[in-house]
């Protein structure tokens, strides 16, 4: 007990001579260098586009052909995404596959949008954020969650996207989806899979590239290489 008290007093004396509140790290460079937004005309109703496209893809139809037609209407062919567990996916075929898997496993899924934020302009495009509450019942097979459990589920999600006007049609180019996956796994009684992707950092640079609409390549996760030893 005396030894512990002595150690605590020593640490107190040490900290008294140093400012432990200062870490030397902050993110001010993100807005100081180029700014987080670009000026330009803003006639396009970005929030309405986000809400209506989301409804048409996820809420209003269960015919796969119709849903696919909306995916092709609203997404570029080389659409890219960082999904739960940091997995990087790219391309229309992969997008269609993921949407179909979700609708087969959760055919009554509904996305209850609670807000939408857009920042950008009609020339460079818009960064979008859409907080949403998902409700669904596990009624079909899912490659991660397995056979249907019949459980009803509710979980939050925050998809962050970039949209651009491409030949007169507004389209999503990329997405970083941040659902509350732990809540979903917990409600289904499932064990989260082991993470196999490495998520890099890139201080002072934004998530999306304003010029291309795609994810900053320095922030794209890469597959974790495991030793065979």
**pLDDT the model gives residue 11:** 52
**For residues 85 and 193, is the Cβ–Cβ distance under 8 A?**
yes
* Residue 204 to residues 36, 81, 129, 207, Cα–Cα distance (Å): 10, 21, 20, 10
**pLDDT the model gives residue 33:** 83
| Three-point CA angle 141, 144, 147, nearest 5° | 30
Rounded to the nearest 5°, which phi and psi values hold at 226?
Answer: -105, 140
Rg (CA), the chain: 22
pLDDT per residue of the chain (229 residues) written in tens, 0 to 9: 555 555 555 555 555 555 678 899 999 999 998 789 999 999 999 999 999 999 999 999 999 999 999 999 999 999 999 987 778 999 999 999 999 999 999 999 999 999 999 999 999 999 999 999 999 999 999 999 999 999 999 999 999 999 999 999 999 999 999 999 999 999 999 998 887 889 999 999 999 999 999 999 999 998 865 444 3
**pLDDT the model gives residue 125:** 98
The dihedral through the CA atoms of 132, 136, 138, 139 has a sign that is negative
Single out the residue of 103, 102, 80 nearest to residue 171, CA to CA: 80
**For residues 116 and 99, is the Cβ–Cβ distance under 8 A?**
no
Single out the residue of 70, 99, 35 nearest to residue 172, CA to CA: 70
Residue with tokens 């899979």: 193
**For residues 109 and 134, is the Cβ–Cβ distance under 8 A?**
yes
**pLDDT the model gives residue 21:** 86
Q: Report d(CA 115, CA 65) in Å as an integer.
A: 29
Q: Report d(CA 170, CA 159) in Å as an integer.
A: 17
**pLDDT the model gives residue 194:** 83
**pLDDT the model gives residue 226:** 47
**pLDDT the model gives residue 18:** 55
**pLDDT the model gives residue 17:** 53
User: How many other C-beta atoms are found inside a 10 Å radius of the C-beta of residue 112?
Assistant: 11
**pLDDT the model gives residue 87:** 87
The reply to whether the predicted model has a pTM over 0.85 is yes
């Amino acid at each position: 007990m005396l030894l512990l008290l002595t150690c605590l007093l020593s640490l107190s004396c040490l900290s008294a001579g140093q400012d432990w509140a200062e870490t030397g790290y902050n993110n001010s460079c993100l807005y100081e260098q180029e700014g987080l937004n670009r000026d330009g005309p803003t006639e396009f109703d970005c929030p309405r586009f986000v809400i209506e496209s989301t409804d048409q893809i996820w809420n209003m139809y269960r015919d796969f052909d119709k849903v696919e037609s909306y995916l092709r209407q609203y997404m570029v062919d080389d659409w890219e995404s960082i999904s739960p567990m940091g997995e990087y996916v790219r391309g229309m075929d992969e997008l269609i596959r993921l949407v179909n898997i979700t609708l087969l496993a959760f055919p009554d899924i509904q996305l209850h949008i609670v807000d939408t934020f857009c920042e950008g302009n009609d020339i460079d495009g818009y960064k979008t954020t859409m907080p949403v509450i998902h409700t669904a019942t596990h009624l079909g097979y899912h490659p991660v969650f397995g056979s249907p459990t019949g459980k009803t589920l509710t979980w939050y999600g925050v998809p962050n996207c970039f949209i651009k006007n491409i030949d007169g049609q507004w389209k999503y180019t990329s997405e970083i989806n941040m659902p509350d996956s732990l809540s979903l796994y917990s409600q289904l009684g499932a064990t989260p899979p082991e993470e196999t992707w490495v998520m890099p950092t890139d201080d002072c640079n934004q998530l999306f590239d304003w010029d291309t609409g795609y994810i900053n390549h320095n922030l794209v996760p890469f597959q974790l290489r495991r030793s065979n030893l």
